[in-house]
Amino acid sequence: MAQLTYRDAVARGIAQEMRRDERVVLIGEDVAGAGGVFKTTVGLLAEFGPKRVIDTPISEQAILGAAMGAAMTGLRPVAEIMFSDFFAVCWDIVVNEIAKTRYMTDGQVVLPLVIKTGNGGGLRFGAQHSQSIENWAMAVPGLKVVTPSTPEDVVGLMAAAVRSDDPVMFFEHKGLYSSKGEVPDGDIVDSLGTAKIRRPGTDATILALGMMVPRALAAADQLAGRGISAEVIDVRSLVPLDTATILSSLSRTGRLFTVEENPRLLGWGAEIASIAAEEGFWDLDGPIQRITTPHIPLPSADSLEDLVMPSADSVATTVEKALQS
């Protein structure tokens, strides 16, 4: 059992799969010699060499175009887009090419491609480098979408993503890169489409993703001190979505809350709320409540960014008020 940072877990997960399968290659801006702008690929060039760890020009279209071609012709690339905000530059390739090729060729062409990226706010990078865009990807048929919250999940979900024959959007939360956690020795392979109950509870179900998971857990600690037992579920995978775990929890607690970093309008929690209303309506003891970032560009000033993003305090207050009403 090793204590790893989230960023080191990214490199470990990729290295595990590169050792297992020589078809796995890494491509992106500064991923080789520099070890990645967020230092998530340190050591990979030294171990696997420049034919499998490839630096590119500053061109998101070129990165994904090359990775798509490599995936179509027998490799299993991991491509990095430095900041998730930059998907706006290459979204046509993702949405109209990568996501649709397997379907449009009736399965004759598969795309075993992982697109990894630094996602989310909390680091004062401003409106153009702090967006949480997993809901963009969730809306596109043909993409799988995962967001790990712990170092162990980073390794296991990266392995599952690399082994998938469908393209996977792998969102690493920038605010978690320095966080640490225990990671078992040996190879770790998780499964896409599975949520995890991080804390059991009986009075309310709180769903969270990425950096919102530790904040939801901290909120649950506060609520426990006020006599409220909150179950915290780490959604982890938006596509496929583990509705069974979510609805089972709702049937036990009767109350559902989502904690979302993405802007409120059309956030991932809206889809889950819709599913819960359709399939778990009779289990609900009160309205579903979504705790989100407002529908505004994320500010860079620390006081303003902290104000608009969900916090442990705001989650605990919202849940407590709802249960008392």
| H helices present in the chain, as ranges | 6-20, 44-48, 60-72, 87-92, 101-104, 134-138, 151-163, 212-225, 243-253, 268-279, 302-308, 312-324
Q: What is the DSSP code (8-state) at residue 85?
A: G
Contact 36, 8 (CB under 8 A): no
Q: How many residues does the chain have?
A: 325
- Beta-carbon count within 10 A of 19 CB: 12
Contact at 8 Å (CB) between 25 and 15? no
- Where in the sequence numbering do the catalytic residues fall? 129
φ, ψ of residue 214 in degrees (nearest 5): -60, -30
Pairing of strands 2-5, 180-183: antiparallel
Burial 202-234 (b: 16+ CB within 10 A, else e): ebbbbbbbbbbbbbbbbbbebbeeeebebbbbb
